[in-house]
Amino acid sequence: MIAPRVGRPGAVYLLAFWLAITMFWWAFAFASLPGTSPEWLEAARVACFGRNIDGLPDVQGWLMLVGAPLMLLAVILTGWRRDLIDGFRSIPRRPFLAASLSLLVLAAGWQTAWTAGRIRTQLEIARFDFSARADESMPETYPRLDREAPEFELVNQTGGRITLGSLHGKNVILTFAFAHCQTVCPALVKQSLDALTLLDPQSTVLVVITLDPWRDTPDALPGLASKWKLPSNAHLLSGDVARVTGALDAYQIPWKRDEKTGDIAHPALTYVLGGDGRIAYALNNAAPDWIAEAVRRLVGHARR
């Protein structure tokens, strides 16, 4: 089957359309929205691209991001090769086409650099094995983030309504765990609690959002907070399922629930937030000294 001729400028516009669609596809996968991302957006991203433990797309997701655009490009280059060659030769005589392509290429270059930086940061965070580096200092080059933290409204162990806004002015150690977890979660909570003892209790709070709102209901939080020995400057949060899972997705926490057992697979992720409500650091299975050091660096940066 021979592809229909689209003419010289038509072929170039077709290639430009392919580039624009590819840029949108990658932006859909990686772009951050100010505030809390809509639940439908996070659900759509997971459905289209999956999510690995490092927060990046899974193998199928990368095939969708890379393979699908390349296949479409191959179709365009094969079916309209002659039109494309003639079209590019005609660009100097078409100022509007030349200007449009230049802007599109510049935008594509910027997006590529931005996306590469985000992927590189996620991989650097994921590669750190803190359990093997508990006696080492946090590297000076550890990547610092500057991302707006999504808002949430959940219930703590005393029945109080806690929002991110209610913690304004406090440095926040934010992590995610659940009661029935017998492996990662107890260690993760202890790491954060140990870090909290190294910091000023008046200016730093610990927030633990449950990964299991199905069982860690607001009524169950007081017993769990007692079991974990949470101090007065620590909040264990839950709420209705939609609110909790919405918060998890907004903070880009990779999680997967086994419908049969109720167990939840998740990373050992800890965020450090500043009093301005922005995420400064993301730590993977961090030693207490590292968490405390991240808060100290945040405080030092704010004073400068």
The enclosing domain of 279 has a CATH number of 3.40.30.10
Kindly state whether residue 2 falls inside one of the protein's structural domains. Answer: no
End-to-end CA distance of the chain: 67
The answer to whether the predicted template modeling score (pTM) of the entire model surpasses 0.85 is no
- Please answer whether residues 234 and 205 qualify as being in contact, where contact means their C-beta atoms are separated by less than 8 angstroms: yes
pLDDT of residue 230: 95
Tell which of 69, 100, 127 closes a domain: 127
Kindly state whether residue 1 falls inside one of the protein's structural domains. Answer: no
With a cut of 50, list the residues of the chain below it in pLDDT.
1-3, 6, 34-36, 53, 130, 132
Interhelix angle 39-49/241-250, nearest 10 degrees? 60
Q: Is 120 exposed, middle or buried (0-12, 13-18, 19+ CB in 10 A)?
A: exposed
Tell which of 88, 110, 127 closes a domain: 127
Supply the range of the domain harboring residue 156.
Answer: 132-303
Residue type, 74: A
pLDDT of residue 22: 92
* Cα(176)–Cα(13) distance, integer angstroms: 47
Residue 52 CB contacts under 8 Å (≥ 6 apart), including other chains = 58, 254
Residues, the chain? 304
Tell which of 72, 94, 127 closes a domain: 127
Kindly state whether residue 40 falls inside one of the protein's structural domains. Answer: yes
Kindly state whether residue 105 falls inside one of the protein's structural domains. Answer: yes
Answer yes or no: do 89 and 147 share one domain. Answer: no
Answer yes or no: do 100 and 15 share one domain. Answer: yes
